[in-house]
Amino acid sequence: MRWLREHLVALVGGVVLVYLFVPIFLVVLMSFNDPATRNVYKFDGFTFDNWLHPCADPAMCDSLALSVEIGLLATLVATVIGTLAAFALVRWDFAGRSQSNLLIFLPMAAPEIVMGSSLLTLFVQGGFAGQLGFMTIFIAHVMFCLSFVIVTVRSRLAGMDDTLEQAASDLYATPAQTFWRVTFPLVLPGIFGAALLSFSLSFDDFIITNLNSGSEVTFPMYVWGVARVGLPMQVNVVGTLMLVVSLVIVLSGEINARRRARALT
């Protein structure tokens, strides 16, 4: 009883953590499901078919390819221009700095449906109603990823000790050398994290994309479309793969950080 009282909080905390994994467990399980019918979604039998034939529905793989393409492009652009802005905000003092911070904060605080419908209104008013598609999705994704990139890189930069840079310049490194040999490698993990976040935001977005995509279909839109008629089990394969890939990336980052921390001490 006493033990229970002392560990109650940790116990409930553990239960909450397990709860977070309940649907994920199901996604992994269902990726090995051999469904009897397409409408009734139940575990009927074990099979590797879904993994061996991921593109049984070519429309799913097309949507996946589109999502990856947009995700990579939007991440590239958002990460580059976001990193530039983060440097300006941390390292420079300029008129309009606090207004810029506000401008960056607002997209993170605005509901997606409002951003999506206002962007659609702009495109329609600008006469692009017929041209909704790849370009408009790309524009929207860079827009909502930018703030997250800036905030992530900014916090990495702000938390950085500048003694190493001072040491470099004391040792007669030119500003360019200091930047590329000292500053940039130190900020790189932050930039990498920002890119990862940006890709997953872009890859997973539904509400804004659904309003601005015209006839293009991204992966979340494909899932939305088939949700009513019965989901192909391959969707769960994609879900599992996303989980595995991100786990590998996150854990290798964690291991790297531990190894570096150990090397420093």
Q: What is the footprint of another protein within residues 11-50 (CB under 8 A)?
A: 12-14, 16-17, 19-24, 26-27, 30, 41
Q: Rank residues 47 and 117 by Cβ distance to another protein and give the closer one.
A: 117
d(CA 31, CA 51) in angstroms, rounded, equals 7
How is residue 152 written in tokens? 């992530």
- Measured from the CB atom, the residue of 27 and 47 that comes closer to another protein is 27
CB 52 within 8 A of CB 64: no
236 binds another protein (CB under 8 A): yes
Instruction: Tell me whether residue 55 or residue 257 sits nearer to another protein (CB atom).
Output: 257
Residue among 197, 207, 219 nearest 61 (CA):
219
Contact 66, 217 (CB under 8 A): yes
For the CB of residue 48, give the shortest distance to another protein in the complex, in Å: 19
What is d(CA 101, CA 51) in angstroms, rounded to the nearest whole number? Answer: 46
Query: Which of 18, 51, 40, 62 minimizes the C-alpha distance to 221?
Result: 62
DSSP state of 179: I
147 touches 78 (CB < 8 A): no
Among 53, 65, 251, 259, binds another protein (CB under 8 A): 251
Of 17 and 263, the one with the shorter C-beta distance to another protein is: 17
At closest approach, how far in Å is the CB of 52 from another protein? Answer: 20
Decide if 145 contacts 85 (C-beta within 8 A).
Answer: no
Token couple for 87 = 């440097």
Q: Residue 73 or 231: which CB sits closer to another protein?
A: 231
Among 60, 74, 140, 187, binds another protein (CB under 8 A): 140
How far apart CA 128 and CA 119 sit, in angstroms, is 11
Q: Cα-atom radius of gyration of the chain, to the nearest Å?
A: 23
What are the φ and ψ backbone dihedral angles of 33, each rounded to 5 degrees? -85, 140
Quickly tell me which residue has 């269902």 as its tokens.
30
Measured from the CB atom, is 75 or 236 closer to another protein?
236
Establish if 263 lies at the interface with another protein (CB under 8 A).
no
Footprint of another protein on 205-224 (CB under 8 A)? 206-207, 210-211, 219-220, 223-224
**Site size for another protein, by CB under 8 A?**
90
CB of 190 vs another protein, minimal distance in Å:
16
Least spacing, CB of residue 22 vs another protein, in Å: 7
Classify the C-alpha dihedral 72-75-79-85 as positive or negative.
Answer: positive
Cβ contact 149:83 at 8 Å: yes
Min separation Cβ 49 and another protein, Å: 19
Binding to another protein by CB under 8 A, coded x per residue (else -) over 83-122, reads -xx-xxx-xxxx-----xxxxxxxx-xxxxxxx-xxxxxx
- Binding to another protein by CB under 8 A, coded x per residue (else -) over 149-188, reads -x-----------x--xx--xx------------------
Question: Is the CB of 49 or the CB of 90 nearer to another protein?
Answer: 90
